[in-house]
Structure 1
């Protein structure tokens, strides 16, 4: 079993925003991956972007630049 780590979790209102985030991060070589929303978080679409805390500024900047709307940013163990 993989050991849990503190990660940045970005939740979205829509699946379209989650998919746009995946594409934008891939194109910009920003690390992370789409995951199901962790149980301790309630979110609109059921998908979330998971990345290291060290990538927070880069991720927020990319979302602003591309117009991707996040629901919330969380720090939790996943």
Structure 2
């Protein structure tokens, strides 16, 4: 069994926002990926952006600059 790590999960209200976030992060060189939201977290669209917790400030800044509406920022063990 692989060891769990701590991750920052950003949740979104819509699938289109999640897809826009993925594209924006790719263009900005921000590491991460789209994942199904873990059961411990409730989210409207069911998709989230997973990245390392140390990327939180950069992620928030990017999403705010693009007016991407997020549902929440969560730290989870996955």
TM-score by length of 1: 0.96
- SS for the counterpart of 2:19 is helix
- Which position in structure 1 is the counterpart of 2:45? 45
- Which position in structure 1 is the counterpart of 2:24? 24
Structure 1 residues without counterparts, runs of 5 or longer: none
Structure 2 residues without counterparts, runs of 5 or longer: none
- Which position in structure 1 is the counterpart of 2:61? 61
Counterparts of residues 1-20 of structure 1 (less than 5 Å): 1-20=1-20
- SS for the counterpart of 2:10 is strand
Q: Report the CA distance between 1:2 and its aligned residue.
A: 2.9
Q: Would you identify which runs of 4 or more consecutive aligned residues in structure 1 move more than 4 Å?
A: none
- Name whichever of 1-10 and 51-60 sits farther off: 1-10
Q: Give the root-mean-square deviation of aligned CA atoms.
A: 0.7
Deviations 1:12-64 (A, max 9, x none): 00000000000000000001100000011111001000000110010000001
